[in-house]
Amino acid sequence: MAVFEFLSNKAQGYFFNGLLADFLDNDKQFEQYHRFLAEIDGMAEDVRVCADLPVRINHRTISNQIIRYKDSFKLPEGYLRVPLIIYWKREELERAIVLLTTTYIEAKGCYYCMTEPDSAFSECRNDMIAMCLQDSSLADIKKAFAEMDGGTRAVGAIQRYYDHRYLGNVDDMKEKCIELSRQVFDEASARAVETEDRTPIIYDAILRAFLIKKALYVHYMMSKELLSTRHEGDVKKQRQFAKAYTDEIPIVSLSALWRLEKTEE
């Protein structure tokens, strides 16, 4: 099932799902991006948006079992939610852009969760890309939308272009993931000791770390170039290296976050 048909008829649990123009009239959460979203709405007819769509983290998939990030198993069902998905249809083309508001790395991790085997969007993975909705990336999202809408480039080629732009090579990506995860847990730790109910802070940090790990592992495994040049065609060796890379991402355990106490000055 293609992405427009799925989101129009099968998606469940969302906050809003309909015309982007109607979303702009009612939504306040993304108000700072309304002008940009209105531009997107004006670039093609019948542009739609699905907001706050829950995505299931399937812990039975091979990649999740290899990552073995057990704290992610403790997240409530449906805790991963996609802030915005812009989707549209033009003749035979059905396209979608998955938008997270944190980082491009986490957007890729979310995309991989959505499109892995036996997931809801597994048959739609070639119709959609992932981007990060931030002021610095608005021009790129607009460009990607125009290319996808015009059918001038393959969807996969568009995503690979932005992978190179935002991630660099896989070794660069690993360093970005390490730094990002460290930042996530540093910020979560600082906020947790100042907050009476630290549950959402802890859950958010665990989820973000999972998406970072997911993005790095799957991105490594999907590289045919690495398979041939670094691992001599040996998938088992590639998998071992992907896991080793993912293991380098620093985490703070859920239990340790719960035990944090404020340091007296």
Mean pLDDT for the chain overall: 93
**Is 208 among the domain residues?**
yes
Answer whether residue 232 shows pLDDT above 70: yes
Give the whole-angstrom CA distance, residue 240 versus residue 52.
35
b/e per residue 182-212 (b: at least 16 CB within 10 A): eebbeebbeebeeeeebeebbbbbbbbbbbb
Residues 128 and 242 reside in one and the same domain = no
**Is 117 among the domain residues?**
yes
Whether the Cβ atoms of residue 40 and residue 33 lie closer than 8 Å to each other: no
Q: Quick one: what percent of the chain has pLDDT higher than 70?
A: 99
* pLDDT for residue 27: 82
Answer whether residue 1 shows pLDDT above 80: no
129 closest CA partner among 105, 150, 148:
148
Query: Each residue of 243-257: pLDDT tens digit?
Result: 999 999 999 999 999
* pLDDT for residue 168: 95
b/e per residue 86-112 (b: at least 16 CB within 10 A): bbbbeeeebbbbbbbebbbbbbbbbbb
Residues 66 and 114 reside in one and the same domain = yes
Residues 100 and 131 reside in one and the same domain = yes
User: Averaged over 72-101, what is the pLDDT?
Assistant: 94
Answer whether residue 102 shows pLDDT above 60: yes
pLDDT-derived band of residue 63, with 50, 70 and 90 as boundaries? confident
User: Averaged over 57-72, what is the pLDDT?
Assistant: 87
Residues 90 and 208 reside in one and the same domain = no
* pLDDT for residue 58: 86
Residues 37 and 157 reside in one and the same domain = yes
Lowest mean pLDDT among 12-16, 106-110, 151-155, 210-214: 151-155
**Is 183 among the domain residues?**
yes
Residues 199 and 102 reside in one and the same domain = no
Query: Each residue of 141-186: pLDDT tens digit?
Result: 999 999 999 888 899 999 999 999 999 999 999 999 999 999 999 9
Residues 71 and 35 reside in one and the same domain = yes
Q: Quick one: what percent of the chain has pLDDT higher than 90?
A: 82
Residues 144 and 175 reside in one and the same domain = no
Domain C-terminal end among 107, 132, 167: 167
Give the whole-angstrom CA distance, residue 37 versus residue 253.
38
In this structure, what token pair is assigned to residue 11? Answer: 């998606």
Answer whether residue 139 shows pLDDT above 60: yes
Domain C-terminal end among 142, 167, 192: 167
Q: How many domains does the chain have?
A: 2
Residues 103 and 226 reside in one and the same domain = no
Instruction: Work out the number of other CB atoms within 10 angstroms of the CB of residue 69.
Output: 20
pLDDT-derived band of residue 235, with 50, 70 and 90 as boundaries? very high
H helix or E strand, kind and range, residue 90? strand 81-90
Domain that holds residue 82: 3-167
**Is 194 among the domain residues?**
yes
Instruction: Work out the number of other CB atoms within 10 angstroms of the CB of residue 244.
Output: 11
User: Averaged over 44-53, what is the pLDDT?
Assistant: 93
Residues 16 and 137 reside in one and the same domain = yes
**Is 265 among the domain residues?**
no
Residues 215 and 160 reside in one and the same domain = no
* pLDDT for residue 263: 67
Residues 111 and 131 reside in one and the same domain = yes
Domain C-terminal end among 146, 167, 188: 167
pLDDT-derived band of residue 22, with 50, 70 and 90 as boundaries? very high
